[in-house]
Amino acid sequence: MTAKTYVLIDVNNGKSEQVVKTLRNKAGVVIIELVEGPPDAVMVVKATERQELAKLTIAALLSVEGLTDGVKCLPVIEEGSA
């Protein structure tokens, strides 16, 4: 089973490209894209289980400066678990 979350990220002015470059190389991050926002970027993180997903997501977000309080995580509900 794979756990996945979509993370909607708001970034301080002028930091968007730097944030995306940094997050692109983090463990578990499979997609990070700038979007016309808000939000400023969308990140997808995957892991084999939910606990690992949480750890990877938090570690990625804590690794960058310039994020605002506008970060939202939208966990995906796996098929058959609802």
Beta strands, E only, 10-67: 29-34, 41-47
Tell me whether residue 56 is in a domain.
Answer: yes
Tell me whether residue 81 is in a domain.
Answer: no
Query: pTM for the complete prediction?
Result: 0.87
CATH code for position 41? 3.30.70.920
Tell me whether residue 59 is in a domain.
Answer: yes
Tell me whether residue 57 is in a domain.
Answer: yes
23 burial level (CB within 10 Å; 0-12, 13-18, 19+):
buried
- 25: CB partners within 8 A, 6+ apart: none
The domain containing residue 23 runs over which residues?
A: 12-75
Tell me whether residue 4 is in a domain.
Answer: no
The tens-digit pLDDT sequence of the chain (82 residues) is 789 999 999 998 888 999 999 999 999 999 999 999 789 999 999 999 889 999 999 999 999 988 887 789 888 877 545 5
Tell me whether residue 16 is in a domain.
Answer: yes
